[in-house]
Structures are given as C-alpha cells and as structure tokens.
Structure 1
Amino acid sequence: MRDEAALLVADVFEAAGALRRLGERTAGAEGLTQARWQVLSVVSEDPLTVPQAARRLGVSRQNVQRVANDLVAGELAALAPNPDHRGSPLLTLTPRGRDSLARVTDRAAKLHRTLFGDIPDEEISATRASLRRLLDQLDRHEGAVGEQ
C-alpha cells in the first residue's frame, strides 16, 4: 500500500503541474496570468481584504498584494473602503475585471468539457471524493510532520 500511496502522491504532483501550465495558457489567452485569474475569482462574489484573499487561496499576503496592485493598475480591480478596518481596504472587481473573469472562466469551462469529455461523470465524482478525503486527512495532520 505504501508504494501505491507514493505513486499517487507523484501522480497528484504531476497532474497539479500540468493543470498549472494549462491554467497559465488559458489565462494568458485572455491577457491574464493564472495568479491574476485566481485573485479575480476569489473576490468575485464578495470583496475581500488582501489578507482574507490570501488565506482563501492558501498563499502569502505579499503575493496577493503584488497581484492586487497589478489588477488595480490594470483597472481590473479597485480598492474600496473597508468599514471594519480603515487600514485594510477591500479588493473588488471593476466592470472590466468582471468581463475578463467571465471570458477566462468561459474559456476554462470549454476546455474542461474537452479535457474530461471521455471520462465518465461517475469516475470524476469518485476521484473527487477520494481527493477530498485525502485533503481532509492532510488538514488533520498538517502539523504532525513538524511534531515528530
């Protein structure tokens, strides 16, 4: 079982890398980077502060701040006053940002239909369920490696 688990981890890393490269190409076709696409997406429903967006994405605040600055400079996002914290404005999408996000999301949806077209829905669902269980285990054991 241990060998199969190691192979699964290797496969997940390989798939993650391939999906990141595909994401970069998909975003690039719409004039975005994958990082900009992710930040636009995470603030698309509700405006968030940069630290909130970073926590949701699982990346550093500094990384999201750099991307947010780029989005604001490109007029894809704007900073709005935060009634809960004057020093930490809310990142929100501009109409241009909403349009860019819609285009890249539509492009990705079409690509996903092609990419997963030959895989039965039941198999996709079962794979997702397995990955969710793995992620739950990782969440529970996140600090265990450092404690040993």
Structure 2
Amino acid sequence: MPTSSPAAQTLTDLVLTLFRVNNAMLVRGDRLVQPFGLTSARWQIMGAIAYADQPRPVAWLARDLGANRQNVQRIVNELEKEDLVAFQANPRHKRAQLVVLTASGKSAYDQAVEVWYRAADELATGLSQEELAMSVQVLRTIRSRLTADDTAEGDEPG
C-alpha cells in the first residue's frame, strides 16, 4: 500500500464518510419529499432554481449543482411535464431557455423545505453552530479545489 501523510489519510476518511452521508441523505430526502411528488434529485434541482438570483438555463443549473448537464436536462424535462417548472425565453441565448418554478412547483418545493427544516433540527441536535460552520467551510474549500480546473478553463455555460 502506498504511503500517505496523516492529512491525506484523514481526508480519505472524510471523503469515504461523505459518500456514505450523501447516500443516506438521498434515501432520507426521498422519504421526506415523496408526499410532494418529488425525489431528492428533483428537489435538488428545484432548490437550485429557487436559490438562483435570476432564472438560469439548464447548463448553469448543472454547473451550480456540480452535476451532469444531460441528467439535469432529463429531470427538468420531467418536472416541466408535471407543471413544476416552466421554460422561458432567454434574451441572451436563443436555444438555452431559462428554467423557472411554476406556482405548483414553488408550492411543492416550499412544502419540502418546511419538512426538511424540521428534520434538519433533529439532525443538528448536539452539534454546535461552530462545528457545523467549520464543516461547511472545509467542504467548500475541498469543492473549490476540486473544481478549480473547471473554472480555469473558462467553461462558462451560455
């Protein structure tokens, strides 16, 4: 087995734990949002739409989520068929339509968020605000380092 630094070993433990937490969160998320006709994947995309400062095309949503554009497009198309999102003309790009939540999409998303905040309070029990904030900072730093090559190439979606 190759030798590694203590920091690399600890980071590896963090990444393996993160994979397990992600899988568990997807299962829990699916259960939480199922009553609103959502899945974790749909909920994530709707969250990216809801939190964007302005309507975005699918490519930008995928970038914001760190997800595959084709997968996001497939889910957005499903959401559009169920009247949870709609497409709007993009004045800056003829083919890359903007994605927005419909009234029923906003309602489903808001209900999911309300249920999530109750679950989040339970999950946060026993963890301090400082511990949670440090965890967020560490994960943001790692994400930034992982995606630095992508932004260095100037791959800005249109």
Decide: shared fold, TM above 0.5. Answer: yes
From 10, 13, 26, the counterpart of 2:19:
13
| 1:71-90 equivalence runs, <5 A | 71-90=79-98
| 1:18-29 equivalence runs, <5 A | 18-29=24-35
Deviates more, 1:129-138 or 1:110-119: 129-138
Rounded Cα–Cα distance in structure 2 between residues aligned with 1:62 and 1:14? 25
Deviates more, 1:77-86 or 1:133-142: 133-142
1:56 corresponds to which letter in structure 2?
D
TM norm structure 2: 0.80
1:7 corresponds to which letter in structure 2?
D
For the structure 1 residues 52 and 137, does the alpha-carbon distance in structure 2 shift closer, same or farther, using more than 3 Å as the test?
closer
1:51 Cα offset (Å): 1.3
1:140 Cα offset (Å): 4.3
- RMSD across aligned positions (CA): 1.9
1:131 corresponds to which letter in structure 2?
L
Q: Report the 3-state secondary structure (helix = DSSP H, G, I; strand = E; otherwise coil) of the residue aligned with 2:96.
A: coil
- Equivalent residues, number: 142
Query: What stretches of structure 2 of length at least 5 have no aligned partner?
Result: 1-5, 151-158
Rounded Cα–Cα distance in structure 1 between residues aligned with 2:90 and 2:25? 35
From 90, 97, 103, the counterpart of 1:95:
103
Identity %: 30
1:23-54 deviation line (CA, Å, top 9, x unaligned) = 22222132101121112111224221111111
2:127 corresponds to which letter in structure 1?
I
Deviates more, 1:52-61 or 1:127-136: 127-136
Q: Report the 3-state secondary structure (helix = DSSP H, G, I; strand = E; otherwise coil) of the residue aligned with 2:10.
A: helix
1:5 corresponds to which letter in structure 2?
L
TM norm structure 1: 0.85
1:74-130 deviation line (CA, Å, top 9, x unaligned) = 111111111112222111111111111100011111100011122122221222222
Q: Does 1:49 find its partner at 2:49?
A: no
1:141 Cα offset (Å): 6.9
Q: Report the 3-state secondary structure (helix = DSSP H, G, I; strand = E; otherwise coil) of the residue aligned with 2:119.
A: helix
2:26 corresponds to which letter in structure 1?
R
Q: Report the 3-state secondary structure (helix = DSSP H, G, I; strand = E; otherwise coil) of the residue aligned with 2:99.
A: strand
2:35 corresponds to which letter in structure 1?
A
1:11 corresponds to which letter in structure 2?
T
Query: What stretches of structure 1 of length at least 5 have no aligned partner?
Result: 143-148
